[in-house]
Amino acid sequence: MIAAEMRLASSAAIFIDYNAVSPQTMGEVAQAFDNTDARVLDSGIGAALALKMCCAGINKGLLGLGTPMLLAATKSGADKVMMAKLAESQSQRVVKFSKSIPDMYPKAYRWVAETDEIASFLGSDSPAAEIFAGMGAFSSRWRTTAQATVAR
């Protein structure tokens, strides 16, 4: 949409995308600005964007694996024992989950696109890409499922 508006504009502009997007997606974004007077700053296509995708993958990956396991523990009545076990062996993870998982409920819809970008970054030949594609599918139902389970 911005590229289309730039084609109508009479002055040049600079476009910067700070979202967590794969280099492939950033390449498509830059291509959309062909035939405009906009300058797309694409320095993130290299190592900086890869770093951002890796950090997002680790953060979303840990929460994306932890959340369904905690929901399953809650559903089966093993949540208190599981949290005690985690507190013994991974106390920092308990702190992270306790804050990050509730914070993600209202933002879960964003995870679909973000985990899809991480999967794209990893590449279709990477089995890990399938993990993030699955997290995207789970994320589309995460908010409702999580809130319903917690409400019990």
DSSP 70-122: HHHHHHHT-HHHHHHHHHHH-HHHHHHHHHHHHHHGGGHHHHHHHHHHHHHHH
pLDDT at 62: 93
Sorted by where each begins, the domain ranges of the chain are 2-45, 53-151
pLDDT digits (tens), the chain, 152 positions = 888 888 887 778 888 777 777 777 888 888 888 888 888 876 555 677 788 889 999 999 999 899 889 989 999 999 999 999 999 999 999 999 999 988 887 777 788 888 988 998 899 899 999 999 888 888 877 666 655 655 55
Which pTM value belongs to this model? Answer: 0.68
